[in-house]
Amino acid sequence: MHIDPLAEVRQDPLARIGLFILATISLMALFAPLLSSYSPNDYTGKIFSPPDMDHPLGTDSVGQDIWVRLLYGARTSLIVAGAVAIISSTLSLLIGATAALVGGFYERFCMRAIDAVTSLPTIVVMILVAAYLRPSLMLLVLLISALSWPTGARIVRSQVLTLKERAHITAARTFGAGKRHIITTHILPELSPIVSSMMMMDARRAVFMEAGLAFLGVSDPMVISWGKMMHQAMAFTYLDVWQWWLVPTGFALSATLIGISFLSFSLEAAMDPRLRKGNVRL
């Protein structure tokens, strides 16, 4: 590739905003114990207390400090995002690339499986499985990954298919390069921008799904999650407590999603010449 997408992303204001948001949230998650004097499972004794010096966002229906739960909720979202991004993109890369390289029946089988999984209503499937198997964070991560690898696998496959026919790869083959050499030095490095944008996509979907499922009441009972906080807060919209319980949590979740989106928008724009500056984008 003649353009270095990653260098271009670094110059893009959109990507910078995205990175800034994500960095702030990561720092909040990382230094959660330092940013609050409470532990997320402490009962302070006061319920529904409005924000004050002790509790920057007040307390919830059982008297837990909302600010500290918000901080620890960020950990859950980021852990799920990271874990799903890694597992799912590894699966996509493995299955997509082998399908394109092996071909034949195996490829057709993979493509059918990919089509089948992508046409499922993922949220409902996850609700059913989680309802039977008792939701745990681990199970959720595995489930989300199991249902989100196909989109990436399809992209990887089509990319490898075109790469395979490129002149420099044919040239390498004429010089007697082996399969392994071609894959490791020519194909894999060229896939790196695609894989990074795929990971971003997976991470975004994972954050959304984890929060969405928890919002519907499907979540690990031991884990603090933004979705679960919103689920609990939805029962109390008739009190003023939503102002410091429901809304800040929702905005934290949205900010995380927007941060990831901005990064991946800008990455995509850098990779797809049709979307480059001066063409379609602003």
Partner 1 sequence: MVQPGNDSDGGTGNPREAECWIAKAWSGKAARYIPARLQSYLIALAAIFSLNFILPRLMPGDPLHAIYGDVALVAMTDEMQSHLIRQLSLDKSWWDQMQAYLLGLMHGDLGFSYYYRDQVSQVILGAMPWTVLLAGLALVIATLIGIILGIESGYNRGSSLDRGLVLSLMFLSGFPDFFVGVLLLLIFAVSLDVLPLSGATSAYAGYQGLSYVADVLRHLALPLAAMVLVQLGDVFLLTRNTVVTLLGESFILTARAKGCPERLIKYAHAGRNSLLPVTTATGMRIPHLITRVLFIEIVFSYPGIGSLLNTAISTRDYPLIQGVLLVVTLTVLSVNFLVDLLYMRLDPRVRYAH
Helix 66-102 to helix 246-271 angle, to the nearest 10 degrees? 30
Where residue 99 falls (left for φ over 0; alpha for ψ -120 to 50; beta otherwise) is alpha
Question: Number of H helices and number of E strands within the chain?
Answer: 12, 0
Q: Which of residues 140-199 bind partner 1 (CB under 8 A)?
A: none
Number of residues that bind partner 1 (CB under 8 A): 46
Tokens of residue 99, six digits = 């399908």
When asked if residue 218 is in the footprint of partner 1 (CB under 8 A), the reply is yes
When asked if residue 254 is in the footprint of partner 1 (CB under 8 A), the reply is yes
Quick one: how far is CA 244 from the chain centroid? 26
Selected from 19, 35, 86, 125, the binder of partner 1 by CB under 8 A is 125
When asked if residue 241 is in the footprint of partner 1 (CB under 8 A), the reply is no
Site of tokens 């696998």: 153
Selected from 57, 66, 250, 266, the binder of partner 1 by CB under 8 A is 250
CA distance 200 to 264: 6
Piece of 1-9, 89-97, 177-185, 240-248 that binds partner 1 (CB under 8 A) = 240-248
**Looking at the DSSP assignment, which residues form a beta bridge with residue 65?**
59
When asked if residue 115 is in the footprint of partner 1 (CB under 8 A), the reply is yes
Query: Binding residues for partner 1, per CB under 8 A?
Result: 111-117, 119-125, 127-129, 131-132, 208, 211-212, 215-218, 230, 234, 237-238, 242, 246-247, 250, 253-254, 257-258, 261-262, 265, 274-275, 279-280, 282
